[in-house]
Structure formats: C-alpha cells, structure tokens
Amino acid sequence: MPNAFSTDRTVLSPRISRFISSIHEEKQQITLMKNRDFHGKLNSDDWGYVYYPDFKFDPPESDRPDGLITGYVPIAKTLRKFVNDMPTYVNKNSALGGAWVRVIAEHANIGVRPEDRPEHLYDVWGKYSTRPGCFGMNHCAGDMEIGLTLGWGGLLRKIRHYRRLNDPSDTSFYDGEEEIVLGMMEFASLVANKASELAAGEIDPDYKRNLLDIAEMNRKLAYAPPDTFREACQFIAHFQTIDRIYYAGGALDQIDRFLLPYYEKDTREGRLTDEEAVWHLASLFFNDTHYSQIAGLNPDGSRDTTNRLSFLVLDAIHYLAIPVNMALRVHDNVNPALLRRALEYILEDGSGVSFSLNIGCEQGYARNGYPVELARQRIKVGCNWTAIPGREYPLQDVTRANMGMALHWALQDIKNGSASDRTLEMLFDRFAEHVKIIVDSIKEGYDWHYEHISRNTPELIYNLFMHGPIERGLNCAEGGVDILNFNIDGVALATVADSFAAIEQRVVNEKRITWEQLFDALDRNWEGLEDTRLMMKNIQRFGAPGSLAEKWALRIRDHFVAVCKSSGTPKHNLPIIPGMFSHGTILELGKELPATPNGRFASEEISHSAEPDPGFARGLNSFSPSLKATAVAKVQPGYGNSSPLHLDVDREMLQREGGIDALIQLIHAHNHMGGTLINMNCLSKETLLAAHKKPESFPDLVVRVTGYSAFFVTLSKEYRQQVVDRFLA
C-alpha cells in the first residue's frame, strides 16, 4: 500500500472522453426506451439492464406438475439456458462486454413450492399489512476476491473438489452451483464471439482494437482468472450480470480494495493509465448499478483505506453522469480530500455518493455481540443496508413492520373497550402489544424461511463468492456461512409519534376534542372535519426541538427495539437486528392504512424511515439540515443497521463560501450523534419543480431517491413528489 498517492482529478483525453460520453448517451437511449414502455414507473435502482422488448425466453421444462421451477438444479439449469439464449450485448465504447436483459422471474415460473408457503401466518401478516421478509432473496454480499482469485474455471474446480470431499447423499447443491459456473463460462465465450463478430465489421481502428481486446479478454475469462485491472472489471461485470438476472441481486463489495491489487500491478508495469482505469470503472458502472463502498477503516482500525483508486471511482461516476450506487464510509480520519471531492462532485452533478457512517454502523453492530474489528468489515452494499461480504447472511431490507397498523388496531381496541380504558397509557399498552404481535410474526416467518428457503430458491450466485457454502455444501441462508442475522424494519415512526403527541396535546391536555370525537373523525376519514384535522396535524411534530412527538418517537423506538432484541426467533433462536428503513413502501403501506390521529388521511403515505415528516419545522424553528439530522440521529435503533437521513441541499447554499465545509461538519456531526447513513442531493428549487412538471425535459437529472440513485424521469409521479416534498420541507 503506497503511503502517498495523487488526489488530483483525472483529466480525460479526447479518446477516453469520447468513450465515456458515448456510453452515457447509450444509457440515455436505453432509459428512454424503458421509460416509454414502463411509463415512468420504474421507482427502483436504475438497473443497468439493456432493454430488448422483443426478447422471449423458452425455459426448460419443469419437473413438477404445476410447472414451477424450484430448487438448486432446476433453477440453475434455467439460469444457464437463459444466459445462453439472451441477446449478447457488446458496446464498442465500453471497455467491457456483456449485459443482462431482465430478471429471470419475468420469463420463467421460478419460486417457492405451494406446500412450503407459510399459510398459517398469512392472516396475521395481512391484518397488519406486514411485509414479512420470509423467502426474501439476494440481500447478502459476496467476497469478490474469491471469484477474482479463482475465475470461473477455478470456481468449477472448487465445486468439484468439495463435492468429492464431502460426498453428500444429495448432490443437488453442488450440481446446481456447477450449472451456474458452466453457464457463465459459456456466457463469457458468447461475449467473446460477439465482440469478434463486431470487430470484423468495424472500420474505425480504435473501436476495432477495443472490440478485439474485449474478445480476447472474454475468451480468457471463460476459464482463467483475471490478471489485469480491465480483466478484473470484466469478471465483476459478468458477476453483476448473473446476480441481477437471478432475483435482481445488487450487492458488490469494497471496490477500492478488491480492485486495488490489479490497479497497482498494472500501473506499476506501465499497462494502465489513470484515465484508462476511469474508463474501465465507468464501463463497469454502465454495466450495472451494483452497490459498493469506498474508504473506511481497515479491520484493526489503525488507518483509513482510501487510496488512489478511491479517487478514480469518484472520477468515473462524475464523468459517466448516470445513477451509480456508491457509498463512502466516513470516520474521523477519513481522507479529507476524498470527502471534499465527493461533495464537490455532488455540487457539480446534483447527486453522487452516499455517506455511510462508521460509529452508528460499526459500534452499533458490535452491540450485537460481534467484535468491532469484524464490524469494520461490514460495509454498505445495499440501498440502505450493510453486510460483511462473503461472511454474513444479513437478511435486511426485506421486512416492513408497519407500526401505523399497530396504532390503528390499538385505537380500535380502545374504541371498543370501556370508557375508563380511554387513556393515553392504555392506548400505548395496546399499541405495544400489537407491535409485539407484528414482530413475533416476522420472527416466526424467519424460522420458516430458514427451514425452507434452501430447497426452493437458494442463493445460487452468492454461494460461489462466500466463505463456507462450497466448502460445506450448504446454502448460505442455512449455515453455509458463519454469521446469520435477520433484520426487522419498523416503519411509520413519525406517523405514530405525531399521532400520540396530537392525542396527548389535543385530547388529553387541552381537551379540545373527546376520544369519541376522535374515533368518529378517524372513521369518517376527517370528512367535514377539516378544522379538526388541521388541529391534530398542526402540533409540534417529531423533529421540532423538545416536542411531545419527540418524546413519543423515543418511546416507540425503545419499545420496537426491545421486542426485536428480547429474543431470537422462537424455534431456531436466529438473531434479530432492528432497523428503520422504509424505502418506497411508504406509498403502498400508506394506501393500506386508515386515517391516523396526526391528521393524515386514509391512504396517504406514511412517514419515511426514521425521519420527521416534511413540514415538521415551523414557527420559531426554521427548517435546517441539522434540525432534521439531529432528529434522525436521536431515534436510530442503534444496532448497526442503517436508518438513513435524506438531505436535499439547496445548491445555492452549497456554493457559498464555507458551504462544503459546513456539509463536511454536518456529516461528521451526524456520525458522532449515532447516525448511520446520509443520502444527499444538491438541487435548486427551480430545477426540481420544473423537472417535476415536465420530467422528460430533464433526461440527465439524477436524484438520490433513498439509498439508491435514479434518473428523475423514470420515477412515478408519487416518487417524484417525495423528492420534491423533502426539498421543500
């Protein structure tokens, strides 16, 4: 590891600049096609798939009467056929070949056996609009070094070696994994052939050379491991391809670590310039928006891991100018030039990396009983979530415990009980009981998940890149890896806290309305009672300093965390980690929730993650990023899973003298206050409102929706409104 490295911005030659701007334009075209067919309703990561509207896939015949494709071998055979049958994409402006074309479930009946579905839990999950997470897929991360060291050929030998060594009575685990690897070897060969074919017809010598290089590289990678930086990027691109096809997996690894040896070797030997490395990285990001991280502490905590490659990653994101999901792990001694560069690029581009914070993530994770040295290796590889690549099965971001529904049922209990039961404490007791029912039902579902997932939809891709599954012959979700964790995300915190505060202030303290009138207003969805609704809404809401709602938010958080952590799952005692992340489910969960006492209408969205609702800062306290950041930091669940802070910063503020310094200070302060993740946009009000009105006029506007980035134009009106509301808060 060099002690000193350049922190300069990479300056691109016209040749490299042409390559990168051309793949940017290609991306625009692909996005426009997707948007045309999906009508601005993608609402997710701007996945890197190349859209072939006419592609049809004929899956292998199922061995089941119901036609379902399930289990190791049937799914793996289907995936192998899919990568052979799908159109082979090679772009002469990209340094890398290949692309994925859609998630396989859209083309084949893949899933869980009906007899394995937890029907006994459906009623309780339905009652509370619970997203239970049972049979959740792909929320884990591989150690990319395993694949880069072995290559597809080495992985094949490893599978065959351990199949012989373990000699299991049922070899389907190994047979399935072997199908995957064989499929990827064939896929690399197909890419090589396609590149050769295109090279033959290419007149431009520069493009011809590039296509021939892609062909040669892929021929080698069909069997051998990568040796160069470009080959390593190509191998990772193929991993991204198969990972996305199977259940839209999106987790990568610490990119400035696993690619560093290749970068150092190639630059030392004069084979690679920085601008070429930027092109290769841009090509990798064009291939797909997998989640990755740069910077952070090394395992013993003695130094920051930032290196030259960390800067090149930022340069590549900047020059490519499409949504890329990169996190920068912040700690007290993070390279200051890297942090500043990341913010400079956000100022210039409007969006960029997110900031994963070490104190909340690492010390929080250590509270689960893990050494902090291990916690430092738990990096951000999902839209909000973290994992120890290759070593942890951390199932996160697949559950939603809707505390809004717990409040709804608590209100029903009080309403239907005796008059003497109509107290705030009784309401909270009932709420607490319903939260416990929700959490317990998710835990029960996780036991079911643990027992059934492997024979239905195993983690066929990640198993190859993890420490243990191949060695043991076990899916990572059932003990293939040493560390298993199961996350439960509580949502609607501000909705519920504001509701309790409104009841305390208006019903109990001020006695402006009775309980009966409140129940009536909720039943009527506030119809004809606008004044009453505004009375309940316009209190000091969560986020306002010293508010009643903040007190309730803390109490609710404490209860939710306590019921999550009080025990593992009932049957297998699997460990639970609480979180508060909502993603875009605030819309769909809101649609299922009746009116709430905070003045919210039935079907309106619920609050986001651990954040105050837009408009919370009023009167004496003007809105400020720090006010929101303080509120979010205070209610973190505290066990290492991210509960993000979304900041949409006014460009004018950031451009002023000291603006970037102020944001640096805010990031460090949020870290020290226990925050875990900051997602940031830098926009002007005028641009955002104009883009909301006519999104197709702003095809280049990239925004950070939550933990992921997307083209603004691809979002539905409701999702765009979320971003606008946050900005105008």
Partner 1 sequence: MIDPEASGTLFNIQRFSVHDGPGVRCVVFLKGCNLRCAWCHNPESISPRPEILFYQERCIGCGKCTDICPRGAHIMNEGQHVFLHELCEGCLACAPTCYAEALAVSGVRMTTDALMTQLLDERPYFGEQGGVTFSGGESMLQIDFLERMLAACDREGVHCAIDTAGNVPWSFFERTIRYKPIFLYDVKAADSDVHRRLTGVDNTRILENLRRLSDIGARLWIRVPLIPGYNDGEMRAIAVVCSQMNAERVEIMGYHRLGESKYAALDRSDAIAPQTPSRSALEDIRAVFQEHNVNAII
Integer Cα distance of 184 and 187 in angstroms: 5
* Residue type (1 letter), 78: T
Q: Judged by CB under 8 A, which of 618, 689, 696, 728 binds partner 1?
A: 618
Q: Is 103 in the site for partner 1 (CB under 8 A)?
A: no
Asked whether position 333 contacts partner 1 by CB under 8 A, the answer is no
Q: Does 538 bind partner 1 (CB under 8 A)?
A: yes
Separation between Cα atoms, residue 526 and residue 58, nearest integer Å: 52
CA pair distance 468, 462, nearest whole angstrom: 11
State the nearest-atom distance from the C-beta of 674 to partner 1, in Å: 11
Is 206 or 661 the residue whose CB approaches partner 1 more closely? Answer: 661
Rank residues 133 and 675 by Cβ distance to partner 1 and give the closer one.
Answer: 675
Q: Which of 206, 523, 661, 696 binds partner 1 (CB under 8 A)?
A: 661
CA distances (Å), origin 522, targets 501, 534, 598? 16, 13, 10
The mark string for 274-303 relative to partner 1 (x by CB under 8 A, - otherwise) is ------------------------------
- The window from 152-160, 206-214, 657-665, 680-688 that contacts partner 1 (CB under 8 A) reads 657-665
635 neighbors 560 (Cβ within 8 angstroms): no
- x/- mask, partner 1, residues 491-530, rule CB under 8 A, reads ---------------------------------------x
3-state secondary structure 161-183: HHHHHHCCCCCHHHHHHHHHHHH
Closest approach, Cβ 550 to partner 1, in A, equals 11
**Paired strand residues for 681:** 648
Tokens of 469: 């599954």
Near partner 1 by CB under 8 A: residue from 630, 681, 706, 722: 630
List the one residue out of 462, 466, 488, 687 whose CA is nearest residue 580: 488
Among 212, 374, 554, 662, contact with partner 1 (rule: CB under 8 A): 662
Selected range binding partner 1 among 318-326, 481-489, 624-632, 635-643, rule: CB under 8 A: 624-632
Among 587, 627, 680, 683, binds partner 1 (CB under 8 A): 627
- Residue (167 or 657) nearer to partner 1, CB: 657
Q: Looking at 665, 696, 697, 728, which residue binds partner 1 (CB under 8 A)?
A: 665
Q: The tokens of 577 are what?
A: 């980690």
Residue 188 or 539 with smaller CB distance to partner 1: 539
Nearer to partner 1 by C-beta: 440 or 725? 725
d(CA 358, CA 187): 39
Answer for which of 624, 689, 696, 697 binds partner 1 (CB under 8 A) is 624
Residues 111/425, Cβ–Cβ less than 8 Å: no
What is the distance between the alpha carbons of residues 95 and 393, in angstroms, rounded to a whole number?
33
Q: Exposure of 91 by Cβ count < 10 A (0-12 exposed, 13-18 middle, 19+ buried)?
A: buried
Which pairing describes strands 392-393 and 483-484: parallel, antiparallel, or unpaired?
parallel
Residue of the chain from 22, 171, 412, 621 that contacts partner 1 (CB under 8 A): 621
- DSSP notation for 641-686: ----EEEEEEHHHHHSTTHHHHHHHHHHHHHHTT--EEEEEEE-HH
545 to 584: interface string for partner 1, x by CB under 8 A: xx--------------------------------------
Query: What DSSP string runs through 311-333?
Result: HHHHHHHHHH-S---EEEEE-TT
Among 626, 684, 687, 721, binds partner 1 (CB under 8 A): 626
Contact 239, 465 (CB under 8 A): yes
Contacts with partner 1, 671-710, as mask; x by CB under 8 A: -xx-------------------------------------
Residues forming contacts to partner 1 in the complex (CB under 8 A) are 530-532, 534-535, 537-538, 545-546, 618-622, 624-627, 629-630, 653, 656-659, 661-662, 665-666, 668-669, 672-673
